[in-house]
Structure 1
Amino acid sequence: MTRWLTLALITVVATAGASWLAVPSAGLFVALFVALVFALAGWAPRSGVPRRWGIAAQAVLGVEIGTLVQRDALATLGDAWVPVVAACVGTLLLSIAAGALLGLRRDVDSLTGALALVAGGASGLVAIAQELGGDERIVAVVQYLRVVLVTTTMPIVAIVVFSAHGNGDAIIDTSDAGAPWLLDLAFVAICAAVGYLLARLIRLPAPGLLGPMIVVTAIDLLGVSIDGNVPALLLTAAYIGIGWQAGLKFTMDSLRMISRILPTALLLIIGITVGCAVLGLALAATTSMSAYDGYLATTPGGVYAVLAIAASTGANVTFVVAAQVIRVFMMLFAVPVGAKIVRHYRRP
């Protein structure tokens, strides 16, 4: 209990500091780093993160991702649906190809390589990596490397390449609004429970994540007005649980192994980022959107950062929102289903 309390206290304080510094996905990756230090120092709780905690964290995250879907935003795509979906499929194929290349290394299997380099839903992929049969430590580190690289280079590309400038508008508000927090908690609990049970019933892979995500998405697309959100503290707690789950499993051997694959992973992430930029230009050429809108719509990571930059630089926010949400959903659905198929055919 003392170890858990110490781990929690340090993680919370460090997460607050990282959030103040605008570190992307602060709760998840601070928790990963702190848990890693505890594991290597021999201070980690012996039991690790209970499986029930992991499933609960996945469910909260699934509800949060589901709330990203806005029917009005998707409706604005109009005739651009086909090019947007094609760009998302292109991103998926780029990710799979990069994952296959990473999987050529002897210390990384092909499934872990694919999970680590899929460009969409980093926190969700980390949460379900172990369940799908991948090494969640590698997935967590490489996914965070992708998020950091994309998030830090995006403003530079926007200014240098597209001559984008801030227009003084406020960035998109992702804070809780609308329903009181008790109703928000009830909304999360009901959607999580119903989604998880339905996903188990129809044997979906990663039911903790995909079930709640489907339920919340269906509620919005059916036009049911609930105005529910995931409370910020609850979402942060879910991120922390996912980070602990991966970080507490580190050893010195695994850390050395991951450090050896990072240069290769970095080159592949750069390749994916450049490839997605090309897809963005192709998207712009086949729609009425500008090249800048196409770039933001296909940027492979950091959804909230993308939306913030789009809003503050006068880009077509609704188009970017719709394209990014489709990308995240496609990745999070395709990867678990693909992993299930691979596991099925691997069985003797």
Structure 2
Amino acid sequence: MSGRERTRWHGAALVVAVTVAASAVLQLVAVPSAPLFGSLFGGMAHALTSRTPLELPAPAFRVAQAMIGVIIGASVSLPALTRMGSDAVAIALVTAGTIGVSLIAGRMLAVRRDVSPVTGAFAMIAGGASGVVAVAHDLGADDRVVTVVQYLRVLIVLVTLPVVTAVVFRPEHGLGLLPTADAPLLPSLAYVALALLLGLLLARLVPVTTAVLLGPFLVGAVLSQSGWLGTVAVPTALEWLAYAAIGVQVGLRFTRESVASIARMLPAVIAVIAAMIAVNAAMGAALARLTPVDGLTAYLATTPGGLFAVLATAADTGADVTYVMAVQLVRLVVILATLPLLARWLRRGARADET
């Protein structure tokens, strides 16, 4: 069957088949957010081989965006945030510095004619990759570029993390375990349903594009920390469905021209990401000097991405897991809250440059 003759049903079947197969393979080789990448390939498999229009229904994509907020909200730790105490000023400075470095990196990427300032900034912003990808298109960025670059950064961080940790800090291993708790299914499903429902209702009251993500995030964080439903977590299957919906929607927007354009910019992107990691490591060294925390804890706290791998590394090497989580979560919340303002500011600046 040629690309012209493919029906929507055949296209949907192809997307699902490629998504399942690719996700399984990526999961086996420990690629971060395997369902998102697998579904990205699934969407691309149809978009690049057929002219038949296919897209995720708008309500389904909105629920997927909201689910990303719920997932992030479930990871919030109130004890971790309150633990910062007297280090709040230093952490705020490091957070601002990390965002500033991200914007500079994004501006460097936007030197290319095929990358807008908004796309460059969103592609390079350090932290909250899934949240940034989920709202990138709504805020005027090219979500195809944003998705590839964001998760390339996460992948590079994950690859370099054990090397830097072992070579520079030489910690002992097996010193701790990442805190986990069994979450019963029914309370967890109730948590997801309430966070989605109340979060989306809250989003309708707030005229901000990212409210569809921030509303469920806030409700989810409050519910998970209140203990009202007991120990809760987002079931893995629902996480995968949310990531898959985001990935499919992005993948279906790809064209052969966009693939070629992204491939051409990869060498520059890798160089900029490497520079970002180095600068963030320097900020970690500064944090260690300004606060009582050790160098390894400060380095892990300022790593630009890969939150759960960073927390696992912190636990395994004896670093302060609570402190690492607090710094990473502060940056994540600040980024998600300021994305609409950032997009507006960058678009205004781009228009001023054109006139």
> What TM-score comes out, normalization by structure 1 length?
0.92
Q: Distance in 1 between matches of 2:18 and 2:266?
A: 27
Aligned to 2:68: 61
The C-alpha deviation readout for 1:51-94, integer Å capped at 9, x for no partner, is: 21211111111011011111111122221121112111110010
For residue 221 of structure 1, report the CA deviation from its aligned partner: 5.9
User: Following superposition of structure 1 onto structure 2, how do residues 66-215 of structure 1 map, counting pairs within 5 Å?
Assistant: 66-167=73-174, 169-173=176-180, 177-179=182-184, 181-215=185-219
Tell me: CA distance 1:182–1:4, structure 2 relative to 1, closer, same or farther (3 Å).
farther
SS in 1 for 2:56: coil
Deviations 1:185-226 (A, max 9, x none): 222122112112212212122222111112223445667564
Q: How does 1:301-320 map to 2 (within 5 A)?
A: 301-320=305-324
Q: How far apart, in 1, do the equivalents of 2:340 and 2:225 lie? A: 23
Q: Check if 1:38 corresponds to 2:52.
A: no
Look up the SS of the partner of 2:182 in the other structure. Answer: coil
- Report the Cα distance in structure 1 between the residues aligned to 2:135 and 2:165, rounded to whole angstroms: 33
SS across alignment from 1:41: coil
The answer to whether the 8 A contact 2:18-2:45 is kept is no
1: CA distance between counterparts of 2:265 and 2:325?
Answer: 33
CA distance in 1, matches of 2:30, 2:175: 19
**1:196-275 correspondence to structure 2 within 5 Å:** 196-219=200-223, 226-275=230-279
In the aligned structure 2, how far is the partner of 1:32 from the partner of 1:103? 23
How well do the aligned residues superpose, as a CA RMSD in angstroms? Answer: 2.1
Please name the residue that 1:3 is paired with.
11
Distance 1:255 1:13 in 2: 21
Match of 1:337 in 2: 341
Worse overlay, 201-210 or 123-132: 201-210
- Structure 1 partner of 2:37: 29
* Helix, strand or coil at the partner of 1:183: helix
Distance 1:315 1:114 in 2: 31
How many residues are aligned here? 344
Cα 1:166–1:241 shift into 2, 3 Å: same
Deviates more, 1:14-23 or 1:312-321: 14-23
8 Å CA contact 1:35–1:248 kept in 2: the answer is yes
Using the size of structure 2 for normalisation, the TM-score is 0.91
Listed one character per residue, the Cα deviations across residues 22-70 of structure 1 (whole Å, up to 9, x for unaligned) are 211111112112322332122x862212221211111111011011111
* Cα distance in 2 for residues equivalent to 1:300 and 1:337: 21
Deviates more, 1:13-22 or 1:74-83: 13-22
Distance 1:79 1:223, change over 3 A: farther
Could you tell me which runs of 5 or more consecutive residues in structure 2 were left unpaired when the two chains were aligned.
1-8
2:4 is matched with which residue?
none
Matched AA of 2:38: V
Q: Given that residues 172 and 307 in structure 1 are in contact (C-alpha distance below 8 angstroms), is that contact kept between their aligned partners in structure 2?
A: no
Q: Indicate if the aligned counterparts of 1:116 and 1:142 stay in contact, CA closer than 8 A.
A: yes
Identity of aligned residues (%): 40
SS in 1 for 2:112: coil
Q: What is the CA-CA distance between 1:169 and the residue it aligns to?
A: 4.2
Larger deviation, residues 60-69 vs 12-21:
12-21
Partner amino acid, structure 2, of 1:260: R
User: Structure 1: how far apart are the matches of 2:221 and 2:18?
Assistant: 35
Is the CA contact 1:296–1:310 (under 8 Å) kept in the aligned structure 2?
yes
Q: Cα deviation per residue 1:292-345 (whole Å; 9 max; x = unaligned)?
A: 110000000000110011111111111111111111111222223321455578
Distance across 1 between alignment mates of 2:238 and 2:63: 11
